[in-house]
Structure 1
């Protein structure tokens, strides 16, 4: 069984607005390595639709992009992508698959079928999966910024505090810190 790893960009004040992070060669290379370590991607419908509107165009060379960004896009194009949605059933982006029905059973089946693990990149979906106890690890890229606005990480709350074990903290040249935590099981 593979692990479910939640990974996201966020600011020091917890803002997860995708436009608030530092998108440079180093951060794209970080996320490309992280994606390489996992067997599949997992998103909610809203995040998936944001991603599908841009990254396939980068992978096809329709959008000007630096080498690390293009590498991310090409690898993302080839990666299996799973989407949790109750409203959408048609997915044209290559290697995209729908997860419907019982969320706990669907995600557990995905984890069981993906020995290299699943990389989750949707904040709203993460809150729900965390409530179900399905997230095993957290890989946050914490940017040296204070946004002063939302949306924020876990703004819908959790039923109780999650205890985490620090695995690593690696500073990047841009000032961001790559934080790797593992959930402790109480």
Structure 2
């Protein structure tokens, strides 16, 4: 995904949420202290990365996690962080909903405005396998020409927007 925000370490913000009926299955946050984090079926146990801060310029952000090994990395503008081991053997449950910029405390509701994202989110893709370094670099360098995700494809999926969300096209 690409992210731009003016909320510089002022508060926690959720970037990506995948929620099933019973759990926050997969969440990506920018914590109050500026670290980026991945939570898998947990609100207290995350893997944290101290990376470059998000700002008003679009940042390409990619998270990789492999269930078998637990190998987890954040990629910022095509560069990989160190690898950390997190939730080895965990499986993400199906039949959930993806919500960008809001933390759902139930399947499609119970939002907290103090955790909401303010800024721009675009080019969200998701795969059911870990991409290679060259594939991630291609997404960063050539977002229009790179292959879309096989779970979420920003270029072909249908989205619903609510409240103060504005969809802009062709703003390059």
Tell me the TM-score normalized by structure 2.
0.28
Greater Rg, structure 1 or structure 2?
1
User: Of Structure 1 and Structure 2, which has the larger fraction of its residues in helix?
Assistant: 1
- Greater strand fraction, Structure 1 or Structure 2: 2
User: Which structure is richer in relative contact order (CA contacts within 8 A, separation 6 or more)?
Assistant: 1
Relative to the length of structure 1, the TM-score reads 0.26
